[in-house]
Amino acid sequence: MTFPFLTIQNAVSFEASRVPILPAEAWRQTLLENCAEGKARITALFGETMTPDVTRVYCLLGIDSKKHLLIGAADFFGKNPAYASITPLLPEAHLFERELYEEFGILPVDHPWLKPVRKQENHSFYKIEGEGIHEVAVGPVHAGIIEPGHFRFQCHGEKVLHLEIQLGYQRRGVEALMIAADSKQQAVLAESVAGDTVIGHGLAYCHAMEGLSERSITPKRCQSLRAIALELERVSNHIGDLGALAGDVGFLPAAAWFGRLRGDFLNMLMELTGNRYGRSFVMPGGVLFDITPEMLRSFIRRLEKALTEVKELAELFFGASSVLTRLGQTGVIKQETARSLGAVGLAARASNLLRDVRQNYPAGIYRAHNIALVKMSTGDVYARARLRSLESKRSLQFLRERLEDLSADKIAQPCGMSKKGAMIVSLIEGWRGEIAHVVATGAEGEIRRYKIVDPSFHNWMALSLAMRNGQISDFPLVNKSFNLSYAGHDL
Amino acid sequence: MWDILKNRWKQGYRTVDFPSKVEMPERFRLSTANDGEPQLVKALDARMQKLFGRSLKLRVVSAGSCNGCEMELQALGNVVFDLSRFGIQFVASPRHADGIVVTGPVTKNMALALKETYDAVGEPKIVIAVGTCAINGGCFAGSGEVLNGAASTVPVNLYIPGCPPHPLIILNGLLRLLDRK
Ligand code: SF4
């Protein structure tokens, strides 16, 4: 016997009391049944302390084919509650269950690898023993200018048998800070979840706040401007990543050129928002700056030119056989693996899984205007690289359309007070993939729980598996092809 | 491929010149006792300048940053900003470095790694804190998980503000530190 979860829409608030609270076992069964055969996938799984000895665990499922989400919860009582782990049946839950155990002490019995997610203690790494097996430990401080994380390889010669990734060094406690902060600080904090996804996380926060407010209309022009910023962010990051990949395979002309081209997009963001990454541009109710007619004309002209450059560059980069040899068949993630890990965003689309919030759960301007999506089927570094250039082209075309049909309108409309006892799920397709912010308000309309799931949280395991049986020397390349966020994972 | 490259070559693209003077809007200016230009950076002493003035190797430690500051540090290496023309380089090991660059508010989880990286750099050495977070914790200040800035863990010689600071601002700070600006 199953109990239905509540059906909800992206960025539309609902009364928190409508979320069905099931007995733990029934909750687990419903979750598993919904996810059977890949019908639904876990978007978020998180707890909230209700009273000192009641912890409520929410499960948020996304049903991509039906364009809606399901939410259901279960209460766990006492000091050390336990339930039968979901992970053995549904691997995509593995990190969420570890997080629940770390933060709330809810024990998933028979979890295959129950160790801390972010705490720096009890680190035991998976070890392979035998003749000629050696271990390579890297980090947290790396050779390049990147964020900290620890990587432990089990190798036989050059071949990687297993890679375990231990993160948590970037733990800043963002979720707790969001509750304590006032609304101005909240916007800054949301943008600082991952500094490369400023617009993505900022927008997820804004959609949540607007949906929660009692009165909120976002003007059309503002929605377009937000989409423009979001797509500029996507293109700049995709192009930057291609540059990094080119650098890693030693193809320096392309690396230099990609690096410069990225700067062009960042400069456009800077002209529009005053900051190269668009900080403080989006705010609940609207955006901070408008686009001037001269800027508009110059953007359209420059984007046109950039589109030609992206095409030429792709030709240069993907036309070089030495590049293709390095990228092809390296770091493969098959479709089945990607599905079972619950991969999202670009990493999923490179493995033939069309998961994209802009299409599956559209919000803002994406409700009215579709963006053409692309996917690849090989799941290797080549697919992820190629997809970056293809998506950049689509985004540039979309950007031009949005710039050309900007409606005359206000750019901001203050929102009202927050609804009391409400909840909202706000999903945004950032350049890495699905960003989820789930917010619950209390009796006074204050924020009671703020949960953030960065796309990297879903995808880190895919990087581990992509390295299996690969060469350790390919790690930088495979890592760049995913380019996951440490800060977004650690929060 | 050659056609494409040739085309690009003809169009050309230049590394930016370092702007000789940038006018700060009034409200951002620092008030100073004397009316002259505010002294933002105290250059290193003569001995340190002799050592590092023409060649400075730095190791970056990211200690809880959001990746914004890292991206701007990386951008310094691209063809537009081309940091190495000033003899400044980011290196792979603290053992090769003359100092470290710290970004982020210093999370409790990174404090040890930061300290050890600092210790691994040979004397004499300098520390540069990049970004609001590294100055005082920035937007994360007051969280129980962070130590509110680089100075909590290592002695800092230069602070470069911004969230994230523009690559030119970082460059400006570095050149002033070396008294080359
Ligand atoms: S100063 Fe700003 S950009 Fe730099 S790490 Fe802190 S939040 Fe990120």
pLDDT at residue number B25: 46
Tell me the two tokens of residue A338: 């990607």
What backbone phi and psi angles, to 5 degrees, belong to A42? -80, 125
CB A60 within 8 A of CB A70: yes
Ligand 1: residue of B62, B67, B74, B103 to mutate (most ligand atoms within 8 A of CB) is B103
From the list B78, B117, B143, the residue facing A260 with the nearest CB is B78
Contact A147 B109 (CB under 8 A): no
- Mean of pLDDT over chain B: 81
CB neighbours (10 Å) of residue A115? Answer: 17
- Site residues for ligand 1, CB cut-off 6 Å: A 192, 195; B 65-66, 68-69, 103-104, 131-133, 138-139, 163-164
Under a CB-based contact definition with an 8 Å cutoff, are residues A35 and A339 in contact? no
Task: Decide which of A219 and A240 is more confident.
Answer: A240
What tens digit of pLDDT does each residue of A160-173 get? 999 999 888 999 98
Q: How far is the CA of A464 from the centre of ligand 1 (A)?
A: 28
Q: Are strands B56-62 and A447-453 parallel, antiparallel or unpaired?
A: unpaired
- Look at residue A428 in the predicted model and tell me its pLDDT: 92
Per-residue pLDDT reduced to its tens digit, A327-382: 888 889 998 999 889 899 999 999 998 888 888 888 888 888 888 888 888 989 99
Query: Binning pLDDT at 50, 70 and 90, where does residue B38 land?
Result: low
Segment A283-313, tens digit of pLDDT: 888 888 888 888 888 999 999 999 998 998 8
For chain B, list the domains and their CATH numbers.
43-177 (3.40.50.12280)
Q: Left, alpha or beta for A7 (phi > 0: left; psi -120 to 50: alpha)?
A: beta
Q: Where are the CATH 1.10.645.10 domain residues in chain A?
A: 174-490
Does the domain made of A6-109 have the CATH classification 1.20.1250.20? no
User: Is pLDDT above 60 for A485?
Assistant: yes
Structure tokens at A95: 């990190």
**Banded pLDDT at A129 (limits 50, 70, 90):** confident
pLDDT at A31 over 80: yes
Rounded Cα distance, A42 and A35, in Å: 8
- pLDDT tens digit string along B153-176? 888 888 888 888 999 889 888 888
> How far apart are alpha carbons A221 and A228 in whole angstroms?
10
Written as six digits, the tokens of A131 are 């003749």
Name the helix (H) or strand (E) containing B62. Answer: strand B56-62
Q: Considering only CA atoms, which residue is closest to atom 5 of ligand 1? A: B65
Q: For an interface test with B, which of A119, A145, A252 has the most B Cβ atoms less than 10 Å from its Cβ?
A: A145
CATH 3.30.460.80 in chain A, residue ranges? 6-109
Give A274-300 as a DSSP string.
SSTT-TT-EETTEES-PPPHHHHHHHH
Q: How confident is the model at residue A197 (pLDDT cuts 50, 70, 90)?
A: very high
pLDDT of residue B4: 67
DSSP, res A412 = B
Q: What percent of chain B has pLDDT over 70?
A: 78
| Cis amide linkage into residue A116, ω under 30° from 0 | no
Neighbours of A490 (CB within 10 A): 28
Dist. CA B138 → ligand 1 center (Å): 7
Is a pLDDT exceeding 70 seen at residue B34? no
Query: Which residue is associated with the tokens 């997009």?
Result: A265
Is A406:A222 a contact under the CB 8 Å cutoff? Answer: no
CA of B69 to the centre of ligand 1 (A): 6
Q: Say yes or no to pLDDT of B118 above 70.
A: yes
Supply φ then ψ for residue A51, to 5 degrees: -135, 170
- For the structural domain made of A174-490, what CATH number should be given? 1.10.645.10
Say which of A118, A185, A257 has its CB closest to residue B8: A257
Separation of alpha carbons B80 and B74, rounded Å: 12
